[in-house]
Amino acid sequence: MPSRLRLAVISSAALALALALALTGCRSADLSPSDAPSPDGAVRVVEPAAPDAGVEPDAFVPPVDEPSVRIDSPSDGAVFVQDEIVEGDWAARVTFSVSASDVARVDVWADDDFLLGDVVDGALTYWFRGEGLRRIAAIGYDAAGVELARDEITLTVEPPGDTSCHAMLDALGVDWEAAGPTRGIADPVRVQPVINGVAFRYVSRSEPTAMLMDCELAIRLSRLTEVILPYGIDELIHIGIYNYRCIGGGDPDSGTCTPSQHAYARAIDIHAFGLAGTGDTYSTETDWVITRRADECPIDATGDKDRILKEIACTMWAEGIFQIVLTPNYNAAHRNHFHVDLSEGSMYLGQGVS
């Protein structure tokens, strides 16, 4: 072949190779000597070298989950109104729904320093009795108690529109009606005899009957039912509520004696408690065992019935359901009942005899 023609063929082959490299994004500098065109214009393709034996490519490493906590509800800035009664106070019920991952436990705190409780099965319910703006934090911890993650919101607790005693009776579900003006009673109401599933019956009657009392006493009796229901009690047998008289007898209007809280319908004398479905009772007259004076709890007890009566007496006092709690230990006049009342400024457990 003439030299000019041979050079033209070689040049054409080189040009074609260069064009192919440009289209594939390769650079001529990336070619090894063996990739260069041969003198006859052909291009030799060299296969890439196989990796060395025993060398594995990099294994896939899955991403590591970070510990997380999220308050799913309520939403940030939510407002709750106090519309329930808890231990005699208005309260707003708030249920926190919390999701978390890679933490041992989650606690919910209010205002940085008050523990509301632990999250169980993704939820926690708390009743707020204080009003105003509350800062809430859900904090996730490891097994050693070290904080790993948190989420925060704010919520506002507002008081009810009506904070009266009557509104509180409605919130408690008490069946009541206003009574007419009655001497000595500041806020007279007539309450139907079943409160929170407990029937209130006067000792000499076979059936429960409606009760005349001050509105505040009705609230306290509702609280009392929460104390006695866990014992299986569904009946409270009493000796009386309203009696316009002085302590030990006499006319309050005489000015010569101290009016009893019965004169204001702010006291009740409890004789016994009835057990649901059994016809049995816990009687202050027959089951309470008199002990020596010791005006503090717990009170020495003998037998289950005596113990339960004394536990109820101590709980009524310790939880502030009543300001005065006099037991059969107090004196001969109280051997067959608990006298409990709402004497303002008092907090006395009179349960011992000298």
Per residue in 53-93, pLDDT (tens digit) is 555 556 656 566 799 999 999 999 999 999 999 989 999 99
Q: What is the mean pLDDT of residues 123-150?
A: 97
Q: How does DSSP classify residue 155?
A: E
The mean pLDDT value of the chain amounts to 86
CATH fold of the domain at 68-158: Immunoglobulin-like (2.60.40)
pLDDT digits (tens, 9 = 90+) for 276-316: 889 899 999 999 999 875 567 888 899 999 999 999 999 99
pLDDT digits (tens, 9 = 90+) for 262-286: 999 999 999 999 998 898 999 999 9
Q: How many residues does the chain have?
A: 354
At residue 42, the pLDDT reads: 52
Percent of the chain whose pLDDT exceeds 70:
80
Q: What is the mean pLDDT of residues 176-192?
A: 97
At residue 344, the pLDDT reads: 87
At residue 187, the pLDDT reads: 98
18: left (phi over 0), alpha (psi -120 to 50) or beta: alpha
Residue 171 to residues 174, 196, 240, Cα–Cα distance (Å) = 8, 12, 26
How far apart CA 262 and CA 268 sit, in angstroms, is: 7
CB atoms inside a 10 Å sphere around CB 79: 10
Per-residue confidence band for 349, with pLDDT thresholds at 50, 70 and 90: confident
Q: Which CATH class is domain 165-350?
A: alpha beta
Partnered with residue 266 across adjacent β-strands are none
Per-residue confidence band for 244, with pLDDT thresholds at 50, 70 and 90: very high
Q: Lowest mean pLDDT: which of 77-91, 119-133, 333-347?
A: 333-347
